[in-house]
Structure 1
Amino acid sequence: MNDDYYQQNAQRFYDDTVNVDMSALYEPFLAYLKPGAQILDAGCGSGRDTRAFSDLGFEVEAFDASAELVERARQLTGRQVEVMRFQEMTAVAKYDGIWCCASLLHVPETELPEVMALLARALKPGGVWYLSFKYGRGEREKDGRVFTDMDERQLQTLTEKMRNIAVKNIWITDDKRPCRSKECWLNGLFIKNEFIY
């Protein structure tokens, strides 16, 4: 269902998101990274954040499940962007930072623990991980897409099961797009424990 939506609406989604200023969300994430650190943009959409991190001198890898969006992200960034799903990740302790901006929200709630475990495995010990969900609770369908919404308690419960992940901050922000100013997002920033695997 989500695949069909992004195949048919890729250009509209790209146009709506590519120029959104995300700098206020970059700052707390990048504060934990050294210059030239390796970042994974997981579920990169338009490639906006991949480009921003690359322009700041970071080594960035990116993927998205939508082939249409991947093509646009490749054109925008001039980088190799992979067509891949979270469930296909195999990396182990590879990235200094993982960025999941508005991407995990399309993973079914029952699959989130497994997907988050794969992301945590791909993060180096001491690495930083940012993620965001639309603020709410449970699964819903809207405009041909399925969303898993999340509130503070749900996210806390989900991450408490991961012994090697420590919560640094969970906070709520308004949507940065002018047409979505009444929508809220739940943001999370996590650090992978250096000693527990």
Structure 2
Amino acid sequence: MTLDFYNQNAQQFFNDTIQVDMSELYQPFITQVKPNGCILDAGCGSGRDAKAFMELGFRVEAMDASIEMVKLASSYTGLNVKHQTLESVTDIEVYDGIWACASLLHLSEKQLPLVIRQFEAALRPDGVWYMSFKYGDGEREKAGRVFTDMNEARFAALMAQRPNLTVLKQWITEDKRPDRDEQWLNVVVGKSVVKA
């Protein structure tokens, strides 16, 4: 259902999001990623953030589950954006940073812990990961998309299962788009080096 929404509304979604200034949200993340590090833009949508990270000197890989978004993002960024679901990421210690902006929120509550475990595995030790969710509590469906909303308590419960991930920063923002009044929970987590 959610995938159908993005495939059918890809151009409109691209147009609505491509110009949104995200620089304020980048800062807590990129300052933690090593220079010239490799960032995965997981659920890249329009490719806006992937392009910004490239322009900041990072090596970037990008993926999206919507084939129509993949086409638009590839064209916009010049990257070979992968047509891939979040659940199918099986890389091991490849990325210095993972950027999951408004993408994990489309996973069900049941899927989230599994994907968080897979993404943790994909991060290099000392890697960092940004994720954002609409602020709230529980699963819901709205306008053809499924959302799992998150608040501080729910996120803390997720992190309790992942002792090697540490919350470096957690904060709430207002939606950057002019026609929205939603709040977002933003989190940057770091992966610690496991001592033998």
TM-score bracket relative to the smaller structure: over 0.9
State percent identity of aligned pairs: 54
Tell me the CA shift for residue 90 of structure 1: 1.2
Aligned-residue RMSD, C-alpha = 1.0
Counterpart contact for 2:43–2:62, Cα < 8 Å: yes
Q: How has the CA–CA distance of structure 1 residues 188 and 8 changed in structure 2, closer, same or farther, with 3 Å as cutoff?
A: same
- Give structure 1 stretches of 5+ with no counterpart: none
* Deviation of the 1:163 alpha carbon: 1.5
Give the total of aligned pairs.
Answer: 196
Q: Provide the residue aligned with 2:194 in structure 1.
A: 195
One-letter code of the match for 1:184? Answer: Q
Which residues in structure 2 correspond to 1:100-115 (within 5 Å)?
A: 100-115=100-115
Q: 1:25: which partner in 2?
A: 25
Alignment of 1:168-179 (within 5 A): 168-179=168-179
Show structure 2 runs of 5+ residues with no match.
Answer: none
The structural deviation recorded for 1:196 is 5.4
Q: Secondary structure at the match of 1:44?
A: coil
| 1:146 partner letter | V
State the AA in 1 paired with 2:132: S
Give the match's secondary structure for 1:41. strand
Partner letter of residue 68 of structure 2? E
C-alpha separation between the residues in 2 aligned to 1:3 and 1:70?
12
Q: TM-score, normalised by structure 1?
A: 0.97
TM-score normalised per structure 2:
0.98
Q: Secondary structure at the match of 1:187?
A: strand
Instruction: Give runs of ≥4 in structure 1 deviating > 2 Å.
Output: none
Report what 1:11 is aligned to. 11
Distance 2:66 2:161 in 1: 30
1:128 maps to 2:121: no
The answer for the alignment partner of 1:148 in structure 2 is 148
Alpha-carbon separation, structure 2, partners of 1:71 and 1:91: 23
Contact 2:28 2:169 in 1 (8 A): no
Which letter does structure 2 place at the counterpart of 1:148? T
Letter in 2 for 1:22: M
Contact in 2 for aligned 1:163/1:196 (Cα 8 Å): no
